[in-house]
Amino acid sequence: MEKSFLKSQVDKYSNLFGLDLPYFLHGGFWLAFSTLISFVGGIFLSALFARIWPKDIYGQFSFLMSALGFMSLTALPGMGQALTQSVAEGKDGTYKFAVRSVFRWSMIGFLLLVFGSVYFSFRQNPSLGLATFVSALAFPISSATSLSISFLTGKKNFKKVAIFSIIFQYSSLLATAFALWKFPSIILVALFSAWSTAIAGMILAYIAYKDIENNIMDEDMASLGMHLSLSQFFTISADYLDRFLVPLLLGFTNNAIYAFAILIPMQIHTFFKVLLGLGQPKIASISEKNLFGDLWKKSVQLEIPVLAIVGMYIVLAPVIFKILFPGYSTSATFISQIFSLSLLYYPGNLLSLGLIKRRDTRSIYAMNIVYLAITVISLIILIPLFGLMGAVVSKVIVRSLQAATQFYLLKRSTNSDVNN
């Protein structure tokens, strides 16, 4: 009887997040391990920045990193999710096609970054201009080679995903830390940061190519990847808008404060993305009939640990800032605590993966357009009125509405099949 009870408990939790328990423990361990290692390294590097660079210089560097992230719009950001979906269905041949496509499209981002470097040079900021230029040269390489992670996720090779992620992160982290310590120039730090990632990416992409088992192409993958990328124009624009409006409206010093305020919550955000990366290959196998009910149930279950993590961070944030970022303790701690509330929306992203499985590009577009519209309106109103706190409150409001939108759109999408 005791054995029967234990088995029932295992069976109950074996389907947590739509994953069987051995799958979750094995894959989750490796992905969580790589995220933890990257988290520790990122905190170390940030503490180094806080102690070496003045706030205005770090504000410029943070702006450059945001610009590089924003330029991912041109590198088909949805291709990674489409590739994972295709490879999970046994169509490995889509990997090479995805790499070529991303590299070609990312040349647009390269040109825009070069124009940006010229602009900063003429605006009497040659250091930021040159830092932007050296980063632009590495941008297409880094964008294309990073798809090795999406490919291996589709293969469910989470041990290799973890190893690749750690190499990606630490190649950049160690190179950046070395440049910051020995040559604290924004130009050299940008050079070491960008090109360490590009070089590591080329090596890892070559290794990942050896795991290709067939040349089967997913005929729908290119279209899905393009649609997801176009739809993510709205989400990425929304995600980075605050990081452009803060330096534009409040200056580079306030941008540094904002960057440190959102730093650890965004690291936690990355950890949550690991759970979705682990879940996407399994979501591909959920029947259409049970899709909404299963994903809604799992998103509610996932909200419990997310709530615990956010609550723990709010309690510990004052101590964390005093130890790691003492120069920002007074100005950034409370802002960071409020910003962490925006993480509570994250389990709703399981529902958006349901839309990807259904290839419901119309709903994906609608979801992301609403997200961008609300973000633009709230930031433009709240930042001039309340400064950095306005940016943070905007993020909390927008993320809450995004979760509600994901729920509504997947429910409507699945109900349409029943009605038909």
Distance CA 257, CA 59 (A): 8
Residue 95's contacts (CB-CB under 8 Å, 6 or more residues apart) are: 83, 87, 147, 151, 208, 209, 212
Tokens describing residue 185 = 């120039």
**What is the reported pLDDT for 22?**
53
Query: Burial of 176 by CB count in 10 Å (0-12 exposed, 13-18 middle, 19+ buried)?
Result: buried
Helix (H, G, I), strand (E, B), or coil: what is residue 252? Answer: helix
Alpha carbon 224 to chain centroid, angstroms? 19
The packing angle between helices 94-122 and 147-154, to 10°, is 150
249 CB-near residues (< 8 Å, 6+ apart): 383, 384
User: Which pLDDT score is estimated for 173?
Assistant: 93
What's the rounded Cα separation, in Å, for the pair 244 and 70?
10
Kindly compute the dihedral angle of the four CA atoms of residues 58, 64, 65, 70, in this order, to the nearest 10 degrees: 150
DSSP annotation of 210 reads T
Contact between residue 231 and residue 364 where contact means Cβ atoms under 8 Å apart: yes
pTM equals: 0.79
Q: CB of 264 within 8 A of CB of 320? A: yes
How much is the pLDDT for 28?
59
How far is C-alpha 45 from the chain's CA centre? 19
Polymer length of the chain: 420
Give, in degrees to the nearest 5, the angle at Cα 326 between 320 and 327: 140
What is the pLDDT at residue 287? 59
Q: What is the CA radius of gyration of the chain?
A: 21
CA distance linking residue 324 with residue 256, whole number of Å: 15
Distance separating alpha carbons of residues 315 and 394, to the nearest angstrom: 22
Does residue 257 contact residue 388 with C-beta atoms inside 8 Å? Answer: yes
pLDDT in tens, 299-346: 788 888 889 999 999 999 999 999 999 999 999 999 999 999 999 988
The reported pLDDT for the residue numbered 384 is 95
pLDDT at 351: 77
Per residue of the chain (420 residues), give pLDDT as tens.
Answer: 444 444 444 444 444 444 444 555 455 566 677 778 888 888 999 999 999 999 999 999 999 999 999 999 999 988 988 898 889 888 898 999 999 999 999 999 999 999 999 999 988 789 999 999 999 999 999 999 999 999 998 888 878 888 888 898 899 999 999 999 998 899 999 999 999 999 999 999 999 999 899 888 887 777 888 888 887 788 888 889 999 999 999 999 999 999 999 999 998 888 777 666 555 556 656 656 667 777 778 778 888 888 999 999 999 999 999 999 999 999 999 999 999 999 998 877 777 777 776 777 788 888 888 889 999 999 999 999 999 999 999 999 999 998 888 888 888 877 765 555
DSSP states of 74-119: GG-TTHHHHHHHHHHTT-TTHHHHHHHHHHHHHHHHHHHHHHHHHH
CA separation for the pair 230, 362 (Å, rounded): 11
